[in-house]
Structures are given as structure tokens and as C-alpha cells.
Amino acid sequence: MATPAFEASPAPPTLVLGGGVAGLLCAWHLRRRGIPVEVWEAAAAPGGWVRTQAWEGGQAEWGPQGLPLRAGDATDRLLRALGLSFAEVPRLPRWAALDGRLVPVPAHGGAFLVSPLLSLPGRLRLLAGLAWPVRARDDESLATWTRRRFGTEVAERLLPLAARGLFATAAEELDAAILTRRAGARQVRLPGGMGSLPRALARDLELRPGLRARRLEPVPGGWRVSGDGHEALAARVILALPAFEAAELLAPHAPEAGAALREIPYVSVENWHSIHAAVRPLASGHGFLVHPREGSDLLGCTVAHPGVDGARMHLRSFLPLGARPWSAVDAALRRWVPELPEAQAILRLEAPRALAAPPPGQRHRLARILGALPPGLDWVAAARFGQGLGALIAGVEALVTQGAESRIGGWP
């Protein structure tokens, strides 16, 4: 169905393509500023990877289980404006599967100084790196920068755990700025599950679920967007899509932006939720990450807190997407937790091309993408702002409220 004539609209509409958290955030901020906006979402419901499903009397998350928050930051402002309550995730023990056993991982930098994860010279080198920050160079990989700042031991024993656990990727293949952390942020959970965030964002938005944008065409003063038998005219179109999706729509009009977007790989993972009788020490911790050197395809296993009840624990195991039965996952877990009781329930959730893993040179790549966008088009996605939902929430807030100055968002 064609929308009314573009010229006749009292205020030229903004169209957001993609109703994941990035698109919903854009639309929500624009609407608060009185700008008419409509969101097209290909799936039946908004939220993208931020999605919670009821399972076994509790919740199973498809994507993140929580998000980082610091009092007064963009996430804090957002959750309060939406009226969403949140609870701090307690600091619980976590482990690294390394050298054939589970080794406790300290909760903060200082505690690494007494950790068995590093030798004494390795710890002193870490201390030096904490005291004298070293800025990442453009085009430097996360592995090279970590080695320069914290030394070889940190780069070889600790970093691969984080790179694999968060991005399912080797640190040599990631941009150095990807792991930038905001000091003082703590992890929080939403009692209704992470899916309550997109639900709250979408509450008052003009949302068209089940509508996939397939084509963009320039028209005088704006763009015509079409897909699935629908067509709309908009003065401004925000592509809130993964880089590979945005590339398809953009390439005919901005080949350079399309080519640069295609350089950003997305990793596919599967996560297995399982419920077991609680077993210590796992049940009282956060879980563990597996070092690539151990030769397991298990990336890590987190304990969902709160679990189903005191007697049972809810585990979430991450692996690269593949065709494997539960018995293979169970065997991979048992290597680290031999006393793991048999699963009482299992659920496998696939996440194809879900995690952006920006390679070295992301800052220049973003400049190429954003610099080549034709007037009236913009691209917004987690991969634009850095790592994770915290960076996305802060980046979109800055983009909408400060405009063009923050075109490359929080990417240092």
C-alpha cells in the first residue's frame, strides 16, 4: 500500500528500518523530541537479539542477560525514563577453563596481582599496564595492543578468554578498541527479562512488524522504501540493521559504504539452556570461559541468576553454531564439571550472524561508511558504537541529541 504523497505530509516522516534495540532506541529518542517516526521490523515482534522467552518456570534469554550501568549514565537515564526497574548482578566467582582445570578469575584488576592465572612477572607487567595506559593505534588488533600494554602473559592467557567468550573470535581478528570499558559500570538485570527493554521502547511507537525493507530509491527531497508489497516515502531513513543487511540496501546508492559495511564479519553461535540439580561451586558463581588452547568448541558457560530455585541451577552454554546433539555439549561441560548432574530440561537457541566482530581498522572503516552515506540516510547498529548494549544506548542517545558531531559514536 502506498503512503500519502510525500509532499503533502505536514512533517516529513523519518523511517527507521529494523526494530532491534538500535532501531527502537533511535525511534524512541526521536519521538521524544517530537519527530514523527515509523519503524519497519522484518520479524513478527521487535527486539532483535534482545528477546526473552518463558521457559521451565523461569526465563531463557536469546541474547544478552544483562547490561552495564553507571549511576547517571545513558542506560540509567533510559531505564528510569521507561519506568523499568533493574537489579544489580551480584559479584560472584567466575572461572577460566585453562591448563586442564577451572581456575578462579579475579573480579577486578588489582585482584589479578594475587591470581594464579599469571606468574609474578606477568602480574607486575599487568600492574605497569594499569598504571601507564597505552593508547591503541589505528589498525591495531586487540591482541597486539594488549601485548603492548599488558605484556605477553596477559595477551596469551587472559585475552583469548574474553575475545572468545564475548565475540566467539580470536583477539588477533578484532579491533583494539572493541573492549573499551567504562569505569565504574556494574552489570544489571531486568526482573522481567531483557525482552522488557524492547517492549517498553516500542510501547508508544508506530511499529510495522513483519515488514522487511527490500529496496531504497532516491526521490526529490527524500527516499522511497519498498518491501513486501508496501512502499513509503521519507525525508530521512535510518538503517538500524546489521552491517551485512544495511550493505544490501545501500550498495546501489553508496557502493563505498556498502563495501566497507561488508568488511564487518558477524559470528554465528548457538546457546544451550539446561537445568540441573545445583552443584557447587558452579551454582554459586557466574560460570566459566574456555581458553582456545584447551581445544574445546565450548566457548563458555554462564549460570543464569536467579536460577529456577535454590535446588536447581540454570546453565547457558555457548558454542559456535553447528549441528551437534546435547550429548556433545554435555560431554564438553563435564570435562570441566565432572560431577554435573544430568540435565532435567534443555533448550537450544540458534543465533546466526548475531555478533559483530569488527576487525582492526574499525575507526577508519566507520569513517568510510558514514562519509559515503547519501543525504537523508544513516546507519545505526551495535557495530557502530563499540562493544555491547551500554555503548549502543549511549551512542544512540548522543547521536539523536547531539547530531552530526557524534557520527562515529563512542568509537575512540
Q: Which is nearer to ligand FAD, 222 or 395 (CB)?
A: 395
Q: Is 93 helix (H, G, I), strand (E, B) or coil?
A: coil
Question: By C-beta, is 271 or 274 nearer to ligand FAD?
Answer: 271
| Residue 43 Cβ vs ligand FAD, minimum distance, rounded to whole Å | 4
Choose between 153 and 397: whose C-beta lies nearer to ligand FAD: 397
Smallest distance from the beta carbon of 227 to ligand FAD, in angstroms? 6
Give me the least distance between CB of 16 and ligand FAD, in Å please.
9
Output 40 or 95, the one with its CB closest to ligand FAD. Answer: 40
Q: In 3-state terms, what secondary structure has residue 182? A: coil
Which residue, 20 or 151, has its beta carbon nearer to ligand FAD? 20
Closer to ligand FAD at the Cβ: 146 or 271?
A: 271
The smaller minimum CB distance to ligand FAD, of residues 148 and 348, is found at 348
Residues lying near ligand FAD in the complex (CB under 6 A) are found at 17-23, 40-43, 48-50, 63-64, 212-213, 240-242, 245, 269, 271, 351, 354-355, 381-382, 388-389
Nearest to 14 by CA among 31, 37, 33: 37
> Quick one: cell of 216?
531504497
Grid coordinates given for 339: 560431577
Task: Tell the smallest beta-carbon distance from residue 319 to ligand FAD (Å).
Answer: 11
∠ CA 102-107-109, nearest 5°, is 115
Residue 184 C-alpha cell reads as 565504574
**Distances, alpha carbon 127 to alpha carbons 41, 98, 256, in Å:** 47, 22, 43
**Inter-residue contact 382 to 22 (CB < 8 Å):** yes
What is the three-class DSSP state of 296? coil
Task: Let me know how many helices (H) and strands (E) the chain has, helices first.
Answer: 13, 20
Beta strands 377-379; 236-239: pairing state: parallel
CB of 18 to ligand FAD, least distance (A): 3
At closest approach, how far in Å is the CB of 65 from ligand FAD? Answer: 6
Residue 125 CB, shortest distance to ligand FAD, in Å, is 28
Which residues neighbour 108 within 8 Å (Cβ) at sequence distance 6 or greater?
none
CB of 92 vs ligand FAD, minimal distance in Å: 16
- The amino acid occupying position 7 is E
Task: Return d(Cα 120, Cα 19) in angstroms, integer.
Answer: 49
Minimum CB distance to ligand FAD, residue 1 (Å)? 17
Measure the CA–CA gap between 76 and 95, rounded to whole angstroms. 29
Strand, coil or helix: 56: coil
Instruction: Tell me how far CA of residue 219 lies from CA of 5, 129, 216, 375, in angstroms.
Output: 12, 53, 10, 11
Query: What does the alpha-carbon distance between residue 300 and residue 307 come to, in Å, rounded to a whole number?
Result: 17
Half-sphere exposure of 90 (CA within 13 A, CB side): 8
Q: How far is the CB of 407 from ligand FAD (least distance, A)?
A: 17
Collapsing DSSP to helix, strand or coil, 307 comes out as strand
Query: Which cell numbers hold the place of 375?
Result: 543525504
Indicate the residue among 245 and 378 with the shorter CB distance to ligand FAD: 245
When the beta carbons of 40 and 123 are compared against ligand FAD, the nearer one is 40
Q: CB-wise, 126 or 351, nearer to ligand FAD?
A: 351
Q: Respond yes or no on whether the N-terminal peptide bond of residue 281 is cis (omega within 30° of 0).
A: yes
Q: Which is nearer to ligand FAD, 41 or 153 (CB)?
A: 41
Q: How far is the CB of 123 from ligand FAD (least distance, A)?
A: 28
